[in-house]
Amino acid sequence: MHIEAESIPAEKLSEAANEAKAIAAIAARWQTRIAGFEPQQIVKIAELYEERKIELNSMDFDDLLLQTNILLRDCPDVLEQYQDKFKYLLVDEYVVRCNAGLAAV
């Protein structure tokens, strides 16, 4: 696939580059954490993990960020309510580096 860089707006190139770096960082962390597992095993573990969270009616931290984004995106009245309620937010470095967390902010 050939892409003409000049045809893509600079902000989109920057956004894509940052996303690619984030994905690479996540992949590197996963590679370190999952040494000894085959890719098919990793997929199965992830599927079982998601199924178990549903069975337990629970969410992990990433789910909380994702579901918050979905709520604020799909329910403008809820977004407005929180925008009116809070003037400032204290955001830690994880949320700033995490796309889902940053989108929620």
Neighbours of 63 (CB within 10 A): 13
For the packed helices 61-74 and 76-85, what is the interaxial angle rounded to 10 degrees? 110
Give me the tens of pLDDT residue by residue for the chain, a chain 105 residues long: 566 656 767 677 677 777 777 776 666 666 656 667 777 777 788 888 899 999 999 998 888 888 888 898 999 999 999 999 998 877 777 665 565 555 555
Instruction: Please give the Cα distance from 42 to 34 (Å, whole number).
Output: 8
- The residues spanned by each domain of the chain are 1-57, 59-105
Judge contact between 67 and 59, C-beta under 8 A.
yes
DSSP 18-39: HHHHHHHHHHHHHHHHTTT--H
pTM above 0.85, yes or no: no
Judge contact between 94 and 101, C-beta under 8 A.
yes
